[in-house]
Structure 1
Amino acid sequence: MSGQRIGYARVSTSDQDTSIQVEQLQTAGCDRIFHENASGSSQNRTQLNEMLNFIRKGDTLVFTRIDRLARSLRDLQNLVHDFQQKGIAIKATEQPIDTNTAAGKAFLNMLGVFAEFETNIRKERQMEGIAKAKTSGVYKGRKPISEDVKKEVIRLHNDGVKKVEIIQLLGVGRTSVYNTLKECR
């Protein structure tokens, strides 16, 4: 019995959605599709982890482009190695990737190098833009939280509320909560 076609779709930012990728994966005949909104470098890719637990020997993992699966070459190589060990084939709908051939494996690695290069270039441009904005006085960073919010963070923490819950309850950033608690020690 041949395995299932398992799809994986991912977008990086909250203003994007996976609908176009999901349509392509449905057209490619995927039996089940995992999709999420998470940075490729994020360790919290819950749908990727669910897919990794679900996929079985003989299955084929299908995605649209290699950068939807992994952002770094190391991450890609680790995933591909794990898939090969489990007997799982890899296919992309927009790129000629077939890990059953030497050329397909080479092409996969080349695409991984270029995806990582693209990510690094984007980060450099972003940092250059921020530095330029700071120099011209346009970029001020995030507005600090008020003293009242800081007091509420401390009160909730002292009442035994977890940091993650404080972040959700007050709608403040993770760093603000951690820095506030660090200051009050």
Structure 2
Amino acid sequence: MIFGYARVSKKDQNLELQIDALKKYGVEEIYHEKMTGTKTDRSELEQLLKILRKGDKVVVYKLDRISRSTKHLIELVEFFEKKEIDFISIQDNIDTSSPIGRFIFRMIASIAELERDIIRERTIDGLAAARARGRKGGRPFTDKKIKEKALNMYKSEQFTLKEIRDMTGVASSTIYSWLYSWLKQENTEDL
């Protein structure tokens, strides 16, 4: 059986272009969803993967419609190969039912993996160079006096969180983190 999978990232986007292309290709059943590709819990894709059997085909409009990353795409194609399922990407002209299609897919995946490795190496080298110049990574350090001021303002019960934030210049999330730590410490000391 020929299955199709279509996805758009936003609720207000339209699936019609992908669905029309899948129908034109001869897809018999289409699974579709409106969800960002970075989400791991895509229920329609999960349902599709559960029903696939040896000899089936999975067709997508473009590679980025089915996978959230190169690694995920490679994992999917390895899953398809293991179950003897062909994978076709219409726009990318990839069809893993042929030796040339499998070769082209692996070549594209290898180039993408190489690109990811190069970016990782550049990042590591850049961080090392910054450390050598005395720079530290991570969040900027907040002066202990500012933290004490914020906590004292909170304890006085005379200031709102917005006022504390405006007067100290510290983000609400950071203040909440300090308050949580302080309250946790207070409760531990009471025991």
- The structure with more radius of gyration: 2
Check whether the contact 1:57–1:87 (CA below 8 A) recurs between aligned residues. Answer: yes
Aligned length: 125
Q: Given the alignment of the two structures, is residue 7 of structure 1 paired with residue 30 of structure 2, yes or no?
A: no
1:92-136 per-position Cα deviation (integer Å, ceiling 9, x unaligned): 222221213333123223444559969xx9xxxxxxxxxxxxxxx
SS of the residue corresponding to residue 91 of structure 1 reads: strand
Written as runs of structure 1 = structure 2, the 5 A alignment for 1:24-43 is: 24-43=21-40
Moved over 3 A (4+): 109-118, 182-185
Q: What residue ranges of structure 2 are gaps of 5+ in the alignment?
A: 120-159, 162-172, 185-191
Which residue among 93, 96, 99 is the counterpart of 1:96? 93
Q: Given the alignment of the two structures, is residue 49 of structure 1 paired with residue 49 of structure 2, yes or no?
A: no
Change (3 A) 1:41 1:110: farther
The CA RMSD measured in Å over matched residues stands at 3.0
Check whether the contact 2:86–2:95 (CA below 8 A) recurs between aligned residues. Answer: yes
What is the distance in 2 between the residues matched to 1:116 and 1:15? 34
Change (3 A) 1:116 1:46: farther
- Which residue is 1:164 aligned to? none
State the shift of 1:77 in Å: 1.1
- Which residue is 1:71 aligned to? 68
What is the distance in 2 between the residues matched to 1:26 and 1:37? 18
**Matched residues, percent identical?**
32
- Which residue is 1:152 aligned to? none
Q: TM-score, normalised by structure 2?
A: 0.56
Change (3 A) 1:116 1:26: farther
Check whether the contact 1:34–1:51 (CA below 8 A) recurs between aligned residues. Answer: yes
Alignment-mate amino acid for residue 97 of structure 1: I
Q: TM-score, normalised by structure 1?
A: 0.57
SS of the residue corresponding to residue 41 of structure 1 reads: coil
